[in-house]
Amino acid sequence: MRNTFNWFIAAILLFTIAIIPANRSFSQTEGFNVKTPIQKISDATSDSLKNIIEDSKKSPKKSIPQDLVCKAECFLVIPEVELIQSRGDFTGTGLLSCGAPNSGKFTEPLFYKISNLESFEEGGGGLVVLVMDKQGMKAVLGGDVHIDSDNSSVGAIGDSSQKDMKSFTAYAKYKGQAIAGFDLSGSVLEYSSKDTFNAYQGTVVPIEILTSPLDVPPVLRNFGSLLVEWTKSCK
């Protein structure tokens, strides 16, 4: 009886020793698969921009006009717009990058969000905002920008012959639909300093990226590469 009991105890100990490393390995592997909030936003933003670029190559007449892309000073891509139930308005966070002065390159991506958006498609989707002039670039890098009919226009599709071009030109990319011009009036563009701080591990003053370049964290580099691809045909 004693030998049987000892064998049973030994079997339990061996089984416990065998499964501990496996559980430890699973925990460590599982941890590597968990994305941080800034990784989720960055990956979603790059995926959204990649899809827009691919669609523009396939169907240029149903996409953002390439000459508008070439004229833009900054690009803001917000991959997902969501309803804030407690307030009844829509918001979303994405990445903004501007053309760096006298270099032909782009500034480091910064996190920006839109708030006070009154309506959006229930099925979801995202936004693209082109900053079309120096005035708009200085405004968005200098502080919160209140969007209205005086400083924004609904983006043209396929043909950019519209004459009422404003500092901000907006598009909506609803899920499962082609990109379309969008009216941002009433909304606010805000710098997301917290997300940017977490990405760069330090305080970043938006306007200073024009004169003081930073090292771009790996998680944000894909966005800049896609902007280079989108504008490579621009002279």
Smallest Cα–Cα separation from 37: which of 207, 192, 160, 174? Answer: 192
Whether the CB-CB separation of 95 and 111 falls below 8 Å is answered with yes
- The pLDDT assigned to 10 comes to 45
Question: pLDDT for 162-212, tens place per residue?
Answer: 666 799 999 999 999 999 999 999 999 999 999 999 999 999 999 999 988
Q: What is the mean pLDDT of residues 72-85?
A: 95
107 or 158, which is more confident?
107
Mean pLDDT of the chain, nearest integer: 86
3 state DSSP class of 229: helix
- Contacts of residue 195, defined as CB under 8 A and 6 or more positions apart, other chains included, come to 37, 38, 41, 93, 111
- Tell me which H or E stretch contains 14: helix 2-32
Question: pLDDT for 203-212, tens place per residue?
Answer: 999 999 998 8
Q: Does 37 have pLDDT greater than 70? A: yes
State pTM to two decimals: 0.84
Q: What is the mean pLDDT of residues 147-164?
A: 85
Whether the CB-CB separation of 98 and 90 falls below 8 Å is answered with no
Could you tell me the two tokens for 220?
A: 């944000």
- The pLDDT assigned to 89 comes to 86
18 or 48, which is more confident?
48
Other beta carbons within 10 angstroms of residue 210's beta carbon come to 15
Cα distance between residue 223 and residue 111, in whole Å: 12
Beta strands 145-146 and 82-84, pairing class: unpaired
Smallest Cα–Cα separation from 147: which of 115, 120, 124? Answer: 115
Cα distance between residue 105 and residue 64, in whole Å: 21
Phi and psi of 49, rounded to 5°? Answer: -65, -40
pLDDT-derived band at 101 (thresholds 50, 70, 90) equals confident
Smallest Cα–Cα separation from 175: which of 125, 140, 224? Answer: 125
- The pLDDT assigned to 162 comes to 61
pLDDT-derived band at 19 (thresholds 50, 70, 90) equals very low
- Tell me which H or E stretch contains 180: strand 180-181
